Amino acid sequence: MSIPTAASRAREGRVFKTKLIQFLGRSTQIILQDKNGPCPLFAICNILLLRNMLKLSTAEVSQETLLSLVTQRLIDSNSNNTNRDAGYVENLRHNMADAFELLPRLATGIDVDIKFRRIRDFVPTGECAIFDLLDISLYHGCIVDPQDRDIAMAIGSKSYNALTRELVARELNIPQQRKLVQKFLGSSAGQLTNYGLSCLQRDVKERELCAFFDNKHLSTMFKYEGQLYLLATDEGFLDQPDHVWEKLEKVNRDNVYVSSNFEEYKMVSHTNDTWDEHNAMASTDDYVASVDNATHADLNDLDLQLAMALEQEERKQQPPQRNNV
């Protein structure tokens, strides 16, 4: 999905806390997210840690170290080209060269733009290709229910970026189509629909570790005994060893938290000065990038224009009010 972000900023020398958890009978460190932590880098590293493909043994880790570990993993994962034809090898070299150039963006901002037909339907970008090279599936749940035929036809195969630009520029000339698109985007502002959630629950493989994109955020997701879970990586839960996963079962994210054994965990209330999970997710706008430079506009402005257009359209639908005298 086209995601508004602040301008990319260099974050050299940053250090992040780690937390020791149990995962399927094995102890492993995971990386915790502070207020402005780079969620794409965290999602990838935590998946590799849970897969036992990366090793950490310290209470803190630097951003530079994480990028180096991912770089080495890219090399290791794609070094065996035995019995591959020349065309495959050449294409892999090209993709690897692009990946190495784009790796630093995992810590500053990546391009993510979704389509609305399938849970793996992303507009291809170089940064998203890094996930493929690491054999990490990338999913989202903002899917149109095909039974809503009018909405499905109005949206078609267009991406979020394309629809947003058309709405702001009023390029959707058919009023009914424009109204349907506005209705869908307004009702799915959290980037997860009921139908999309059912598709995730059905199609993500049992015990699959993958990356999940919603609410302008990338999370580590795991399917266990038919249920989806998101890794709880907020730094505020460092001293709560039983707070490990969030069960993904409701679109409104009013979900329960579970321990490393996937048993329900009663979360301790946070004080006002503690950074909580929802704030951590919202804060990562800085790290998930948006439309290309051809728009000549910051995405924050684009989303603001879209919100204003939606509000104006809603006002038009309301009957005129009479003043009581």
State the pairing for strand pair 15-23/257-258: unpaired
- Residue 45 a catalytic site member: no
Res. 210: pLDDT tops 50: yes
Burial of 310 (0-12, 13-18, 19+ CB in 10 A): middle
Whole-number Å distance between alpha carbons of 35 and 276: 9
More confident residue, 202 or 83: 202
Report, as an integer, the average pLDDT of 238-252.
Answer: 92
Q: What percent of the chain has pLDDT over 70?
A: 78
- Of the pLDDT bands very low, low, confident and very high (cuts 50, 70, 90), residue 133 is very high
Residue 159: Cβ within 10 Å count: 19
- Of the pLDDT bands very low, low, confident and very high (cuts 50, 70, 90), residue 202 is very high
For the record, the structure tokens of 43 come out as 């999602």
* CA-based nearest residue to 45, from 281, 211, 212: 211
Domain residue ranges in the chain: 15-78+89-141+206-294
Report, as an integer, the average pLDDT of 114-122.
Answer: 96
Q: Give Cα separations from 104 to 11, 71, 168, 287, 289 (angstroms).
A: 10, 10, 32, 11, 13
Whole-number Å distance between alpha carbons of 101 and 65: 17
Report, as an integer, the average pLDDT of 35-55.
Answer: 93
**One of 39, 45, 142, 199 is an active-site residue; which one?**
39
Beta bridge partners of 22: 27
**One of 94, 217, 278, 296 is an active-site residue; which one?**
217
C-alpha dihedral, 89 to 104 to 102 to 33, nearest 10° = 90
More confident residue, 140 or 86: 140
Region class of 113: left (phi > 0), else alpha (psi between -120 and 50), else beta? beta
pTM above threshold 0.85 = no
Most confident of 38-42, 204-208, 273-277, 316-320: 204-208
Res. 218: pLDDT tops 70: yes
pLDDT score of 298: 43
Q: What is the pLDDT of residues 143-200, one digit of tens each?
A: 999 999 999 999 999 999 999 898 888 777 788 888 999 889 888 877 899 999 999 9
pLDDT score of 303: 58
| Element housing 231 (H / E) | strand 227-231
Q: What is the pLDDT of residues 266-323, one digit of tens each?
A: 755 544 444 444 444 444 444 354 333 333 344 445 556 566 665 665 555 554 443 3
Res. 109: pLDDT tops 50: yes
| Strands lying side by side in the sheet with 60-62 | 26-31, 15-23, 60-62
Whole-number Å distance between alpha carbons of 42 and 302: 27
pLDDT score of 94: 86
More confident residue, 306 or 84: 84
- Residue 217 a catalytic site member: yes
Do the Cβ atoms of 32 and 19 come closer than 8 Å? yes
- Of the pLDDT bands very low, low, confident and very high (cuts 50, 70, 90), residue 81 is confident
More confident residue, 317 or 88: 88
Provide the H-helix boundaries in 145-286: 149-155, 160-168, 175-187, 194-203, 277-282
For the record, the structure tokens of 195 come out as 């139908």
Report, as an integer, the average pLDDT of 76-82.
Answer: 82
